Amino acid sequence: MQHGILVRQDIAALIAGGSLVSNPAIAPAQIQPASLDLRLATLGYRVRSGFLPETATVAERLEETLLYRFDLTDGAVLERGHCYVFPLLERIAKPLPYLVRANPKSSTGRLDLFTRLLADRCGRFEQAPPGYTGPLFLEVVPRSFPVRVRTGLSLTQIRFVAGEPLLDDDALRAEYARAPLLFRDDGSPIPLAEVRIDGGLCMGIALRRDREVTGPVGYEARNYTAIVDLDALDAHDWQGFFRAIPEPSRGRLIVEPEAFYIFASKQRVRIPRHLAAEMDAYDVGMGELRTNYAGFFDNGFGGERGTRAVLEVRPHDVPFLVEDGQVFFKLRFFQSLREPSVAYGEGGLGSHYQGQALRLSKHFRRTDGGSAPG
């Protein structure tokens, strides 16, 4: 059995063979180098609580938790702190020998939208087991801002996993020895001897200015904001939604419980064309911080000299002191079945975050009319 993540041409073949279906049909623009964007359907359900449908269908659980249903065709506003469930347009029509895994899209995480994929009679969020056929659903909870959504909007992406493609630490060191994966702000490679590999590639947080992070070192979400229209790109004044965080004294900063922050990684990372990666919180022993929402990196992310990872940070329970360079998360790398026909940042894929430094989501612009800071 081959082990690897399916790539763009493999996903296109699944669609062409009728294993993945949708009405309207799945558009080529939904297919990324190693993932597929899923779209909201025409109805939404406001529910009183989230749920995990381990012993029931999602539809059955919806009947038990439903407060009201609403139409998405012309758009609808999701209130902050409320829980919603949406049927997705795409469904799995034929049994597949692959584990299906999901992650929020990058822009979803940067807006503090908490999302989880649901599948009928599946006892885990964010995945569907091999052999699953049926509909897919998305739980959505806006944490910081009210948002406007509509039919056809993509908030999540799935990938297809064959076998056990995860690189262990020895394989990851060998990969790094062949070609560096981490770079400094000036583009110079970081030697393997200076890199920490421990259950993945460990990376730190940037709290000091450098050649790329020349303004704020982070952003904190404001309370009681206007609505973010998710169809409107480069359209919102970021200052109405975030406060800029200046470089802190001695590179140290206390983050507050249940506040939402955007930071950049200290290092720049390169994902080779034959690999994909997933961001994990480094270690729950370091504190109760959720360090990412959108954790998947398609093949080719970072180009030749690396790109910063953006960290979506929400502390829990107690204030927490962080300092520049502190290890904050790790990347786990996965072998792909083959190289994708088009990598991230190539071929008009709309790869919004290639070459980013510290950047908010694609929905925000500067007050001077430019694009979102970063």
pLDDT in tens, 77-134: 999 999 999 999 999 999 999 999 999 998 999 999 999 999 999 999 999 999 999 9
Fold of 169-365: Deoxyuridine 5'-Triphosphate Nucleotidohydrolase; Chain A (2.70.40)
Q: Residue 284: enclosing H or E segment and its boundaries? A: none
Question: Which top CATH class is 4-162?
Answer: mainly beta
Segment 12-28 mean pLDDT: 97
pLDDT tens for 304-341 read 999 999 999 988 888 989 999 998 889 999 999 999 99
Please report the pLDDT score of residue 369 as a whole number: 37
Residue spans per domain, the chain = 4-162, 169-365
Specify the DSSP class assigned to residue 163. S
143: number of Cβ within 10 Å: 16
Q: Which two tokens stand for residue 318?
A: 């107690």
Q: Average per-residue pLDDT in the chain?
A: 92
Whether residue 31 contacts residue 159, with contact meaning beta carbons closer than 8 Å, is answered with: no
pLDDT tens for 50-59 read 999 999 999 9
Q: Which amino acid is at 153?
A: L
- pTM of the full structure: 0.93
- CA distance linking residue 117 with residue 85, whole number of Å: 10
What's the pLDDT band for 357 if we cut at 50, 70, 90? confident
pLDDT tens for 209-228 read 999 888 999 999 999 999 99
Please report the pLDDT score of residue 371 as a whole number: 41
Please report the pLDDT score of residue 370 as a whole number: 39
What's the pLDDT band for 345 if we cut at 50, 70, 90? confident
